Structure formats: structure tokens, C-alpha cells
Amino acid sequence: MDDYSVRAEEAAALLGMSAKTLRQRLRDERPEGARQIPPQHGGNWFLKASYVEQLAIQRGRRIPNRSALARDRLTSPRLLAVEKPSPQSAFADAVPNPSHGTWSEWIPFSEALKVAPRFPGVYMFRIAAEPHRGPVYIGMAGERKGNGLRGRLAIYASGKGAGSGLGEHAFDRALEDPKWLQARLDDALAGNPMRAKAAARSAIDHAGLEVRWQTVETRAEALQLEARLINEYRHQLWNR
């Protein structure tokens, strides 16, 4: 059954457009393939997988596997407006429930926090302009107080991960680029020096990264999967 199971933020990431642009289009056109819940200002938008595929064709993009759109959900949008998650559901917040053991699609890191799940799991980064190189960094996330992978990726997005393997290596690459250094110097000379966390996030952006993830049930499983993958790709990783 092709129900309204894809969040607008998730669809936008797959379509290579901003979520704001997609939501505006949905508000203007009110297509049959999308629903706003609740149907009022501020309501969340949900799309049918078939409609997302239709939009992808219009934009000349290909969604390689429809299962990437049709995964099991924590709850249906229809119920989302009237049901509250049970106390045992620590990760429930209308985020798609990924199929554990299945890798997500690669998406730009700038879009990751909009769709990253709140489950434990393992994530990979690669350089978007050099996909043939494969992953350059592999990490894991436990429950993180109910935030899982999303919580871990948020560390990098905030610039707090400068001392990690990923953050440090991204900073090293940025410091090797005279243009990036000149931009930071220009900021300082103009009286607007960049703070350390902002510079760390700027270095992550400078690296031009994409990310994907695989969720698991527990932190212990995430640690095991991370160790196996790091061993598999150890010769090409930034991990310290």
C-alpha cells in the first residue's frame, strides 16, 4: 500500500532540494500525493513514495531503490496527529523507522540532521566529489539519551567534534587550503573573527561530505559493526 509515509524533509534530501522549497511547492499545489497533518499552518507534510518518485523523474534524478522510501515507520501520519508515543518508545518522534541492518542512501551532510534516525547505529562519511574512494570515516552512536545517530551527527554539525578523527582531519584539510585560510583571515581583519566551533563546522563543510548510516538495536551491536567496518576499510580511513 502506497500510504503517505515519507516526510517532506526526507523527500527533499532525496530530491536534492531544500525542504523549505519543497514545502512551499506542496502548499501552492496541494497535490494528491501529499498530505499536511494537521491540515493547517505549521502542520507536517507527508508524501507518497510514488509521488516522490514522480518528482525525482521531473528533476532528472533517480531513486535507485523504492524500499529506501517505503521502509517501516514508527507510526503512520494519519495516527501521528492523535496518538502519542508510548513511554517505551524512546526514539519515537515521527522519524522514519529504518530497517535495521540496511544502509541508507548517501545524502549531503548538510541535509543529514533532517532525516537521521534516533536509533543506535553506525555511520560512514565519504567525499561527495570522490565517491570512488569509498568511506573516509566510520563511527558509531549508542542511544545518546534517545537521540542515537542524529545526536552523534549533531556534534559535527555544531562544530563540537573538532577533536575527533573526522573533525581533526577535516580541519587539517581546510588548513591546507590557502583560500579557506584567507577567508578566515579576511573575517578577522574585518573585525568578525570566526569562533572555534564555527571554524570547526566550516572545516566540515569545506570537506564536502556525504553520509549514510545503518541502524541497530543496541549500542553493543553498533560497536561490533563499527569495529568490523573499520577493520575492512582501515587503509583509507581518517579514523585516528
184 and 80 in a common domain: no
Question: Does 9 have pLDDT greater than 90?
Answer: no
113 and 229 in a common domain: yes
Q: CB–CB of 171/162 below 8 Å?
A: yes
214 and 121 in a common domain: yes
Q: How far apart are CA 113 and CA 81, in angstroms?
A: 22
- Please give, one letter per residue, the 3-state secondary structure of 39-63: CCCCCEEEEEHHHHHHHHHHCCCCC
128 and 91 in a common domain: no
CATH number, domain with residue 124? 3.40.1440.10
CATH number, domain with residue 25? 1.10.1660
Q: What are the cell numbers at 100?
A: 535495521
Q: CB–CB of 63/6 below 8 Å?
A: no
124 and 90 in a common domain: no
What are the strands of the beta sheet with 34-37, ordered from one edge? 4-7, 44-48, 34-37
**How large is the average pLDDT for residues 106-116?**
88
Confidence (pLDDT) at 80: 34
- Tell me whether residue 189 is exposed, middle or buried, using C-beta atoms within 10 angstroms of its C-beta: 0 to 12, 13 to 18, 19 or more: exposed
194 and 159 in a common domain: yes
pLDDT band at 19 (very low <50, low <70, confident <90, very high): confident
> In this predicted structure, which of 68-77, 134-143, 148-157 has the lowest mean pLDDT?
68-77
128 and 44 in a common domain: no
116 and 64 in a common domain: no
Q: How far apart are CA 18 and CA 158, in angstroms?
A: 20
In degrees, rounded to 5, the angle at the alpha carbon of residue 143 between the alpha carbons of residues 93 and 201 is 85
What percent of the chain stands above pLDDT 90? 28
Q: What is the pLDDT of residues 34-58, one digit of tens each?
A: 998 877 777 788 888 888 888 887 7
Which among 234, 180, 237 has a CA at the least distance from the CA of 207? 180
Residue 17 is part of which domain span? 1-97
